[in-house]
Amino acid sequence: MSENVQQASDRFRDLIRSITGISLPPHKVQMIDQRLRRRVVAFGLPDTEAYLSQLLAGALPKDELGQVIDLITTNTTSFFREAEHFTFLTDVVLAEKMAQVRAGASARFKLWSAAASEGAEAYTAAMVLEEARRAGKGCDWAILGTDLSQRMVERAQAAIYANDQLTTVPQALQRRYFLTSDDPSVAGKSRVVPELRRNVRFRHLNLMDKRYPVDRDVDVVMLRNILIYFDQADKEGVVDRLTGHLLPGGYLIVGHAESMVVRHPMLRQVRPTIFKKV
């Protein structure tokens, strides 16, 4: 790799970190180069060096940086991933909520999926909350899913998934909460039923923003497997801002690799990856 390419790559990594919080280590330079090649070709440029130079100089279309962020961010997601979190949601969090409702608290449960990707986490929570409501063990609920990637937000809003993505969803829940179609254009795919979709909203949000346009009476915030990409200062800032949106007694749920990175005076660890606001 030429010195010019290395310098451009370093500047690019600095730009991505400042905007998204994602720290791309130097050894990921080759991965960056591979993922950017399609953009190099799209603009008819000779190489990655030329592309990065134009991107950093602001010579490409305004939405190009968003395209790049989509390419380099990880969008791994699946239904019922880390399933014990959803068991905790029903067995502990909802039980506490219903006791509060009986004591006069708001009978509406709010959950925020703060790195929603294409929506599997949010819709998993929706199925769990709706099942509890139907069984008389829950209440009305609302879910907000947010993501840095506009492309992921649009896919989550569409709520259409390949059938092989549903293998982790119990069969009874597949039958109740997913629809198939005879339309050949969506063969092999299923869509979340309207009854769930109407209570789940998605929108773009950058966790690096200093303020979030989100309610401050949220019962649960799920931010799983994203803090690991941030440096320590950004981790602390994000956790602090998210905590401000939780009700007292609300919960922050993180990924298994992140239990040691959550440090906040208002959060008490109640499970390895679950923290309660005091």
> Rounded CA gap, 163 and 185, in Å?
14
Please give the backbone phi and psi of residue 9, each rounded to the nearest 5 degrees, phi first: -65, -40
- Order the strands of the 218-223 sheet from edge to edge: 200-204, 140-147, 108-113, 218-223, 246-254, 274-277, 267-271
Helix (H) or strand (E) holding 108, with range, is strand 108-113
> Rounded CA gap, 128 and 92, in Å?
13
CB 119 within 8 A of CB 155: yes
Q: Which of 143, 145, 141 is nearest to 119 (CA)?
A: 145
Is 147 marked active-site? yes
Catalytic-role residue among 33, 39, 147, 155: 147
CB 238 within 8 A of CB 227: yes
Q: What is the DSSP string of 34-84?
A: HHHHHHHHHTT-SSHHHHHHHHHTT-S-TTHHHHHHHHHS-----TTTTTH
> Rounded CA gap, 116 and 132, in Å?
22
Burial of 118 (0-12, 13-18, 19+ CB in 10 A): buried
Residue with tokens 């130097």: 26
CB 71 within 8 A of CB 36: yes
Residue with tokens 């608290």: 105
Please give the backbone phi and psi of residue 241, each rounded to the nearest 5 degrees, phi first: -70, -40
- Residues classed as catalytic: 35, 147
